[in-house]
Structure 1
Amino acid sequence: MDYRIALPKLLPPVSYDRNGAELKISLLAEANALNTVQAHATKVLNAVTPFYAGELLEDWERVLGLIIDKADLYQARLERVLEKLAEVGGLSIPYFIGLAAKTGYEISISEGADEIFRAGVNRVGDRLGSDDLLWVWRVHVKSKFEKIYYFRAGMSHANDRLRVYADPALEAILNDLKPAFTYITFFYSDLNEES
């Protein structure tokens, strides 16, 4: 609907001179304002689905907790949004291994429950372990993407390890999606030195 055509038709035919110069200017200003509101409302309506979000795709990224990088192609950003929406989630270890594999990481996960002493399974002299180990996952990363932090004089502190492996992106993903009652520890294979 074009409000420049619709607004004059709303005037009573006898009370107003539709061809009056001042009335035309007033109606044109109001029509332009209403047309602008209509255009913005259409953009918001289209943004209900990410397929037609356009410049409002940034809101989808923000709500889904994605990292917003405006330098990326729009198509790549839309694809990340759609992938995030398609995630069905899961609490199983195979789900997390598959999730890491999709992003280029090779991991394995072991549960701390394997280290708790159990009658009929363990023997005299075995460690008893803590009941809290039941809620610990050990993620073993076998990827070349991790960062290596070396102990450096002036930058490191007493009790820091001499070498630490870390991959903040992977750790953030798994810590964000892990079951709330679990704690994850990460172990990195030294693949960079093997090659």
Structure 2
Amino acid sequence: MTHAELLSLLLPPVSYRYSPEGGRLTASIKADGNSLDKAMLDGVAVIDGITPYGRADLLVDWERIYGLADAARQRTIQERLAALLQRINEDGGLSREYFIFLALNLGFSINIAEFSPFKVGSAVGQPLYGDDWVFAWRINAPETTLVPFRVGRSAVGEPLMKWGNELLEAALKALAPAHTVLQFAYAGDPSLLIDEEGDGFLLDEDNDYLDFS
């Protein structure tokens, strides 16, 4: 039952000769009822918008609150949701493992190399890194990371497949420790493994397991 129908039931049964088929009173009740219908739908939309997945038209408001509005212009809905959820859930960290896991949540498999300056006692053949190299992180990532279209997370008109690393670079640069300099090297494919229970882990450059279960 619409609000217009509810309002019509409030009319006195005798004093007004109300006819649902026409008249000024009918038009007034219909206009008021439509306004109440819209108010109710808007209220339901706010409830649906409690999470970013609830209402696509409220995504821009989520991005504005979390400072992602400018970066979202050239991204797909799926990429925008991934960046937003990462920003909502971030709790900060300075370790390589934290940033590897951050990239993994965005759909990128990476590993991070750190450097040590050459010094007395260093092995023959070791690169002659200076003292400033202790502040460098090399982000090793695949040259191409594919982001497929996903029902429920992509919008009509978006490509069925997208590739690129802009989302990865933007997220890492925004959260990288202030004393670090990031280098991005796109080649190869860090070893991302998923076990039977769906837990994921990576092998770092020393073939040690980084467990994120």
What does 1:51-66 correspond to in 2, within 5 Å?
51-60=53-62, 63=65, 65=68
Q: Which has the higher helix share?
A: 1
Offset of 1:186 from its aligned partner?
0.7
* Match of residue 174 from structure 2: 176
Shift of residue 141 of structure 1?
2.0
Deviation for aligned residue 1:143: 3.4
**Of 174, 185, 190, the match for 1:188:** 185
Q: How many residues align?
A: 154
Whether 1:2 and 2:2 are equivalent positions in the alignment is: yes
Identity of aligned residues (%): 25
Tell me whether 1:95 sits opposite 2:98 in the alignment.
yes
Could you tell me which runs of 5 or more consecutive residues in structure 1 were left unpaired when the two chains were aligned. 147-166
The RMSD of aligned alpha carbons is: 4.3
Partner residue, 1:28:
30
**Distance in 1 of aligned mates of 2:131 and 2:93:** 28
User: 2 CA distance for matches of 1:140 and 1:52?
Assistant: 34
Tell me the SS of whatever aligns to 2:138: strand
Q: Which runs of 5+ in 2 are unaligned?
A: 121-127, 146-164, 189-213
Cα distance change, pair 58–35 in 1 and its aligned pair in 2 (3 A): same
Residues 119-134 of structure 1 mapped to structure 2, 5 A cutoff:
129=131
Tell me the equivalent position of 1:109: 113
Seen in structure 2, the aligned counterparts of structure 1 residues 14 and 127 have a Cα distance that, compared at 3 Å, is closer
TM-score computed with the length of structure 2 as normaliser: 0.51
TM-score when scaled to structure 1?
Answer: 0.54
Contact 2:108 2:141 in 1 (8 A): no
CA contact (8 A) 2:110 2:140 kept: yes
Q: CA offsets per residue over residues 70-107 of structure 1, 9 Å max, x none?
A: 866xxx56973785345554321111133345533432
Q: Which position in structure 1 is the counterpart of 2:49?
A: 47
